[in-house]
Structure formats: C-alpha cells, structure tokens
C-alpha cells in the first residue's frame, strides 16, 4: 500500500472521502434515448469507478434549452430524476459518493438541437466554436440574447434540477460555471456586452451565479454544492481572456467563501497561456490564498503531480478526467503504481460500450 497523501482518507467539515481523488465531470453521450434518461450502462460505468473519493457526473442539462451536445442526460424531468436512482444506488452500493454536474451550454450549442431555434446566451455573439449534433461537430451560430425573464427562468431551472438531484439520491451537485458555457459566458467581456444588471461591472457579470446559489438554499444544503471555474480558459471553447477575466474570477472565488460549499473546483489552463496578457498560469497557486474551503484542482495531473499539489498545500483534492475514462480502477493503479491504459479518443462521445465499459481492470 502506498503512503501517498493523495490516497489517504480525508475529512472536510463533516464529510469523509475515501481518498483525495475525484473523477472529473466528463460528457460521454450515452443517453441517446427518448427523454435523455440515465441508463443501466451508465450505472455500470460510474459504479466501476466508485472507489474514487468523489465521482462527479458528466454534464447533465437543467432544461431542454441547456442542451449543447446530443445524447447527454438531463435532470429536469421526473422521468430523468427516476432514471438517475439506478446510478446513485449502484455507486452507493460500492461505498462511493457521486455529485451531479448541472450544465447549461448557452451559446455553445446549435439550432439543430433546438428545433431550429437559436441557442440562448448573455449577448448575441457567435463563439465561433463547434457544437456536437447528430452529424458530428458543426460550427456554432450567433445566439439569441437572453431576456431578464429568461435569465430568471434559467436560475429556477438550476434550482429545480438541484431538488431533483437530491430526490435522485445524489450526494451533491456541482454548478458548471467553467469551460465557456453559460455562466462563463456571463463572466467574460467578449461574450457579455449587456448593459443591464447582468453586464458591465464585475458584480453584474457574476450575478447569475450568485442568484443561482441563493436560489438553491431552499432545496439543498450548501455543504453539498460545489462550483467549477476555469479562470484562465483562453482560445478554447469559444472563450478568450480579457483584462477583467481574472479579476472577475477573484471576486467570485472570494465571495464563494460566504457559502460554506462542499468544494471549489478549479482547472489549470486548457491551453498554453504563458504569453497571454492578463492570464494566470498557475491557477491553484493563485487562487488558494483566496479560498478557505476545500479546493479541488484538475487538468493534466499524474499520480506524482497530483500528490505534490496537495503536499505543497495548493489544493485539497485532485480531479482526474481522461485517466478515469480508460482506467476504471485508477485508484488501485495509483496504489500499486501500476501502468495505465491509454484512452481511445475516438470513442469519447460514441454510443456503445466500446471505449466505455470495456477498459480492462488490472488482472483482467
Ligand atoms: C470526453 C470528455 C468530456 C468532458 N466533459 C466535461 C463535462 O461534461 N463537464 C466539464 O466540466 N468538463 C468536461 N470535460 C473536461 C474534464 O472534466 C477535464 O477538465 C479535462 O479532461 C482535463 O482533465 P484531465 O487532464 O485529467 O483529463 C471533459 C473532458 C473530456 C476528455
């Protein structure tokens, strides 16, 4: 047995984690059924990975309008809520914990996914990115600027989905405020040129996130809510950094201290930002001093670097993405310092068990 701190049990407030490893949220597009329900195939996938300290589900949409990928599951309908019970039960039966990631893609979507209607966004600005539809990845379009009523309705969609998550047996929820999706579109000057209370100042650009958090108080304890941010996202996911981006994220992170959340989930930059003005190159190091609670960090970590970031005091947990796709027994492999299976990118978003439930565990 390894003595890595990464692998040791960890308690934060009253919550006990079997280790400091999380599975990062990852869209796998296996909910290609009418109603976009969770399935038995998905229950097997998550239960197979249940020895992570925490599983975070794939992005799960809070409404029909939130969709930006085909075949992703939702958690806004009663039927969807029921369908997730087999997943949470399968994970709990294996002694695991699972949060559901609540997702609205905003302008990173396409009319093909909305009966020909435009996707919703803070402002009518095309991200010049791609959305994943029936025919594969296609170019995005100029979205529709949301009315105040549509913003308020979206906040309620998050609240409704959080309530459904509790009913479905999830241990908590993660608000997806990262990776260029709806919330980050509000945070960023290149996607938000609104002149009302949701645009302009830093406080205004961050408003939708805090209104969402405030709306949750009636349906879930904040100790079961995480928030995901990707502050240095640049030239990816239709997002470019501007002079206020980091300051906006600093404001958000500091204000999140008031909520007593389960965790703050940050990602290191997705692209090389060493030459980019206004970027932060070391996200965990930069934000750690501003946040008092559990800080989870992600992106590109190995067994050794994940252990080091915790030892250095820059994070409390590490989320692994791609390594968990191809290694259902990742925790065990880390314990034994065993080699890892390579992931097959061609099956990340396909529909069958190939590249999903067929990666071998050690000894298989
Ligand atoms: C197939 C795939 C799907 C992903 N889907 C999501 C998602 O639904 N929500 C999210 O926040 N991030 C998503 N991500 C990003 C991952 O959570 C993670 O940030 C990324 O894989 C980097 O971590 P890694 O280097 O450990 O793989 C996805 C990544 C991959 C590879």
Its pTM surpasses 0.95: yes
**Any ligand 1 atom below 6 A from CB of 295:** no
First to last CA, the chain: 20
**pLDDT 10s digits, 21-43:** 999 999 999 999 999 999 999 99
pLDDT tops 80 at residue 2? no
Look up residue 225 and give its two tokens: 């809510």
What number is the average pLDDT over the span 200-226? Answer: 98
How far, in Å, CA of 107 to CA of 130, rounded? 10
- Count of C-beta atoms within a 10 Å radius of residue 84: 26
How far, in Å, CA of 75 to CA of 20, rounded? 27
How far, in Å, CA of 192 to CA of 172, rounded? 30
181 is catalytic: yes
Q: Which of 21, 22, 25 to mutate to test the pocket of ligand 1 (most atoms within 8 A of CB)?
A: 25
Q: Check if the beta carbon of residue 338 is closer than 8 Å to that of residue 328.
A: no
**pLDDT at position 3:** 87
CA dihedral 342, 348, 352, 358 (to 10 degrees): 20
The percentage of residues in the chain with a pLDDT greater than 90, rounded to a whole number, is 97
274: part of which helix (H) or strand (E)? none
**pLDDT 10s digits, 122-131:** 999 999 999 9
**Any ligand 1 atom below 6 A from CB of 350:** no
pLDDT tops 70 at residue 1? no
pLDDT tops 80 at residue 204? yes
How far, in Å, CA of 145 to CA of 123, rounded? 4
**Any ligand 1 atom below 6 A from CB of 58:** yes
Q: Check if the beta carbon of residue 123 is closer than 8 Å to that of residue 191.
A: yes
Q: Which of 26, 131, 179 to mutate to test the pocket of ligand 1 (most atoms within 8 A of CB)?
A: 26
- What is the distance in A from the centroid of ligand 1 to the CA of 118? 26
What number is the average pLDDT over the span 236-250? Answer: 96
């Amino acid at each position: 047995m390894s003595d890595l701190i990464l692998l040791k049990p960890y308690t934060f407030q009253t919550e006990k984690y079997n280790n400091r490893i999380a599975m990062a949220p990852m869209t796998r597009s296996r909910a290609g059924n009418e109603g976009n329900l969770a399935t038995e195939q998905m229950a097997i996938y998550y239960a197979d990975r249940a020895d992570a300290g925490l599983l975070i589900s794939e992005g799960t949409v809070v409404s029909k309008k939130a969709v930006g990928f085909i075949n992703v599951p939702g958690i806004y309908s009663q039927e969807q809520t029921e369908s997730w019970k087999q997943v949470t039960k399968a994970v709990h039966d294996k002694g695991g914990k699972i949060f559901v990631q609540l997702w609205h893609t905003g302008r990173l979507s396409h009319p093909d996914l909305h009966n020909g209607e435009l996707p919703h966004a803070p402002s009518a600005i095309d991200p010049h990115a791609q959305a994943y539809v029936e025919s594969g990845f296609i170019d995005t379009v100029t979205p529709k600027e949301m009315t105040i009523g549509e913003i308020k309705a979206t906040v309620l969609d998050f609240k409704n989905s959080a309530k459904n998550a509790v009913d479905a047996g999830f241990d908590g929820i993660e608000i997806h405020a990262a990776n260029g999706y709806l919330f980050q579109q509000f945070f960023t000057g290149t996607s938000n040129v609104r002149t009302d209370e949701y645009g302009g100042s830093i406080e205004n650009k961050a408003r939708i996130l805090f209104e969402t958090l405030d709306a949750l108080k009636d349906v879930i304890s904040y100790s079961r809510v995480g928030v995901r941010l990707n502050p240095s996202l640049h030239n990816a996911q239709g997002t470019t950094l501007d002079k206020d981006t980091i300051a906006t994220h600093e404001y958000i992170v500091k204000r999140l201290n008031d909520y007593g959340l389960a965790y703050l989930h940050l990602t290191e930059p997705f692209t090389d930002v060493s030459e980019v003005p206004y970027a932060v190159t070391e996200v965990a190091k930069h934000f750690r001093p501003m946040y008092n609670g559990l800080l989870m960090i992600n992106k590109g970590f190995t067994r050794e670097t994940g252990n080091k970031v915790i030892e250095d005091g820059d994070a409390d947990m590490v989320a692994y993405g791609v390594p968990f796709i191809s290694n259902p027994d990742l925790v065990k492999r880390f314990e034994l310092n065993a080699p890892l299976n390579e992931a097959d990118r061609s099956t990340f978003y396909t529909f069958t068990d190939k590249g999903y439930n067929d990666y071998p565990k050690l000894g298989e």
